[in-house]
Structure 1
Amino acid sequence: MAPAREQFSDHSDHTSQGDGAESKPTPPGFRSAVEALRSVRLRPELEIEATKPPQRLAPHAYALEAAVVDGDEDLADGRLVLLHDPAGHEAWQGTFRLVTLVRAELEPEMAADPLLPEVCWSWLTGALEARGLSYGSAGGTVTRAGSHYFGELGSRRPATQIEIRASWTPGEGPGGVPDTAGHLTAWGDLLCQIAGLPPSGPADATVVTLPQRRGPQAS
């Protein structure tokens, strides 16, 4: 991944269109929303790059993947997808939708907290609200999964991974285009928070963080 300060230096097209949409021009609103994403500069601990988006979730899509990096270790990683259907989508209650997957590995003692799923979900909504962003129709899951190692891998410590899968409809701004830059910044706040980093400024100064933790192990 390219560091955040150098992100999007490659302007190749990472947008996609759904089946049968190859001949349709990219809507100006979607183009503006994507350009706003490309303009964002996040915390230096975040490495982010555009990636191939899903093909069939909406007529137009754009995707990013990111990791919170400490030296050679990934403390958290995630994927954010911007979807757009100019005709509107009943389930979204709008024409744009943001979909995310965020995950990090936790120390066993932190993973044992019975309130951890509720706290992690509040991190997502809190990150959006701390940035003053409007959103609706939010939904998702928080999953924690434990791993114990045996045999030749028996020397490894037990590991627990927390995973947030969520989607929400960003509030529309001028011309019906949402503040995608603001939503990406809030998503970056969420990634840093689940990674255990301290707040970087007033927007996340009231957020409760967990202690530093190990990053996801390579499979």
Structure 2
Amino acid sequence: MIHDTASFGSDVKMGKYVKIEENVRIGNNVTIGDFVIIKQGTEIGNNVIIGDLTILGKAPAANSNMARPVEKSLSPLSIGDQVVIGCNTVLYKGTIIHQGVFIGDLASIREKVIVGEESIIGRNVIVEMNTTIGKQVTIQTGSYITADMLIEDHVFIGPCCSTSNDKYMGEGNYRHQGPIIKQGAKVGNNATLLPGIIIGKQAVVGAGAVVTKNVPDNQVVVGNPAKRLTTN
């Protein structure tokens, strides 16, 4: 089902049972897999590949027990040139995916997220709302990127890492703040970053570390709780 107001560039290849809603704009040389749904107003650049069973431009939802109400005036999802999107992936409204990004199968990227050029969002990664990811960032399989987080350019995050933004675990009315990971920092497999902490430039967090305090630039921390090992 393709809405009459949708527009297409040249050489668009489309799989079976694709649904494209009103005012969608699709560039040149785009490949769309089977059973894909592209929601109202979504903008897709040139040379984009979209895997089977993917939903693009999904609107967020909430119930009365959630801390944040749903925003009604989100801009359409924007996907740049040369982006690759895996199968069974969900990208929400209000998000910007810049040129050359790779998004693995089963990933979910919520509203008001920015993903910088040539970054990698691995298989089954979850990125929550209001988070900014810089250029050439790698986030590997199964990591959880919380809301209200900043990840600067050239950061590496290993598989199955966990981040959080709510130090009181749902008690009270206060500002949520996820971790800030500065340029060039590296976070090892299964590390946990607690709310609001800052990982400095070129710092290294060892595998399995639980980071409860800020990590200065160029420092290596390991353990639970994470403690200084050495400097680079």
TM bucket (normalised to shorter chain) is: under 0.3
How does the TM-score come out when normalised to structure 2?
Answer: 0.24
Larger radius of gyration: 2
How does the TM-score come out when normalised to structure 1?
Answer: 0.25
| Higher relative contact order (CA closer than 8 Å, sequence separation 6+) | 1
Q: Which has the higher helix share?
A: 1
